[in-house]
Structures are given as structure tokens and as C-alpha cells.
Amino acid sequence: MLDILKKSNTSQFLALAMEMRRLGRSNQLISPLVMGTWQAGKKAWVGISDEETTKAIRAAIDAGITTIDTAEVYGEGHSERIVAQALSEVRDKAVYATKVFANHLKYDQVIEACDRSLKNLQTDYIDLYQIHWPSGNFNSAIVPIEETMSALVKLLEQGKIRAIGVSNFSRQELEEASRYGRIDSIQPPYSLFWRQVEQETVAYCLDNEISILAYSSLAQGLLTGKFATDHKFEAEDNRAKNKLFQGENYQRAQAALMKLRPIADRHQTTLGNLALAWLIAQPQTNAIVGARDTAQVVANAQAANIKLSSEELQEIDAIGRTVTDHLDDNPVMWNFAA
């Protein structure tokens, strides 16, 4: 195997090796690793280059990461436009997942938002269209989920979208939305260090064949082990408000990373890829992971080839719980009001 890797292009090998998975009950096939593009919008991120992001998205496709996740709110459409810039020539090889924000959930607003996203993405269909946050979040108007779902079902019938998903929904909200149309995916914050979704929602997803697209799958970089014990983010960086980077939570995470390192070393991989491999080994779970440049994308893609034994999965699980057992039940990862 090593000889093959030396003689061939690494990204081509990974593209062949990446095992595709069915999205819910739809006809869509997605990659177990999903390219996240929140950072491509630039807003709430520091040091992001459009040129590097474009190259990174193209590298994701080459590495077998066929599914690209974005949202209208990421830089007010900038992320979607960067995705289009990167992939318009290979649109047929990519799966586009984007989202409508909480302030656009009335019937006409959903239709208009979808049309904007189609224009931004330079495409005539969106593979997976998701409700980003339930109505009422971020001071948005309360809209009955039946109204929002009726618009999404209409878009599905028109062929403008090919599957419906939700993001940041509780189990109760997911159940209610499912009464008005087929939901094929849910996108919650989920990682080895953030596991509230396991309490109620995972069981419902397994029973109803709903794919889990985990965001912040590396706990916004914390699981890579690259941050020092005294690291401080710039105030405008959204991670400055991430609960995992604060106080005792952060210190527990650092201690857990020390325990995870020998397992990563056994597999000759990084801490980040070990965490991704653990996550995509969970039932019906796929991992959204962002990247600033091509090197990060190629490195992330290698996580799909790591095979963890049942004993290792249990060991990693136990180490992760030394962090998660001390967190409260609030599913939102950030102190946005702080």
C-alpha cells in the first residue's frame, strides 16, 4: 500500500478510497467527510483568503470529499459565491448543501432565499436545503414550522432542491418538522468534546433513517491539539465565545488530548484525524470539517481511511467523556450574548 501511495497522486487515491453514504432515504450519496465553508464567508473569522479557500474547496473534491456545506448567512452569500467560483466547472461531481437562516422562514421568504442561493451557487438545483436555525433564534420572528416546511416541499416538487434538512433542531423540533415533510438530515454540533445530540436526537435519527451531519466536528480546532494551554483568540473570532475554550472546560480538554495522543500515534495519524475517525464511526454520522488551505483538506481526507477497533472506539469515548460530562445541557456551543 505504501508503494502505491508513493507512486500515485495521494488525493486521487483518497478519492477512490472514500466510501459514499446515502443521505437519509433520498437518492443522494454524500461523502462521510463534508467540506464546511463557514470560514469562506470571512465574517467572524480572521485571516481568511478567498484564493486559498477556493483552492481548498477544489482540493476537497479531488480528495473524495464530494459534499460541500455552506449557508446564505455565511458572509451574506459570500461563502456560497466562493463555492460556485471553485466548483462551477465540476458541479456534477459535487453535492451542494446550503441553508436558509432563521429570519427567512416565512413561506415567501424561503422561496426567495432559495432563489438567491441558487444564483450565488450558479446552479439550478441544491442537493440538500436546510433550515439553519429554528424560527425565534437570533431575535427572528416565530414562524409555524408547517409554513416553512410547505415552502420546502414546494421547492422539492419544483426540483429546485433534492432533499430537506434541518440544523440546530432539538428532537422535539425535528419530530414536528417531520410531520409536514420528509427530513433527510439534521446538522447538530457534534464532536468527541460536544455530544448533547446523543441524549435524545440520535436515537430518533436511527429509527427514522435521518443522516447526521456533525458540525464543529473538531470542536473548532480544539481537537487538533494545536492550541496552547494559554491560547487567547482575537475578540472578533467566534471561537473567543466558544464554551470549550473557556476556563476549566479548556483545561479538561487539554488533559484529554494528552490521553488521546498515544492512540493517534498507534495509527500514525494526527489528533484531529483520530477525532474525525471516531465521529464518522458513530451510527449514521458524517463529519463537517472546514479548512483554510489545500494542505488541511488533504490531511483531513485521510481520516476516512482510519479503522478503529471496538476497543479503541470505547477508549476514545471514555476519554471524551472526561470533558463532556462536565458540560451543561445547553446545546449551543457559544456564549453569543457574552
Cross-strand pairs, 100: 131
pLDDT of the chain, 338 residues: tens digit per residue: 333 333 334 444 444 457 999 999 999 999 999 999 988 776 767 667 888 999 999 999 999 999 999 999 998 999 999 999 999 999 999 999 999 999 999 999 999 999 999 999 999 999 999 999 999 999 999 999 999 999 999 999 999 999 999 999 999 999 999 999 999 999 999 999 999 999 999 999 999 999 999 999 999 899 999 988 878 888 777 788 888 988 899 999 999 999 999 999 999 999 999 999 999 999 999 999 988 889 999 999 999 999 999 999 999 999 999 999 999 888 888 887 64
Per the CB < 8 A criterion, the answer to whether 168 and 134 are in contact is yes
Which residues, at least 6 apart from 318, have a Cβ–Cβ distance to it below 8 Å? none
Active site residues: 74
Kindly report whether the global pTM for this prediction surpasses the value 0.85. yes
3-class SS at 337?
Answer: coil
For 2-223+270-306, CATH number out of 3.30.70.141, 3.20.20.70, 3.30.365.10, 3.20.20.100 equals 3.20.20.100
Sign of CA dihedral 309, 289, 12, 96: positive
Ordered alpha helix ranges (H), the chain: 2-7, 10-17, 50-62, 78-87, 107-121, 145-158, 171-178, 201-208, 247-266, 271-280, 294-301, 310-324
212's enclosing H/E stretch is strand 211-214
- The residue assigned the cell 475517525 is 277
Question: DSSP states of 189-205 as a string?
Answer: B-BTTB-GGGTTHHHHH
* Amino acid (one-letter) located at 222: L
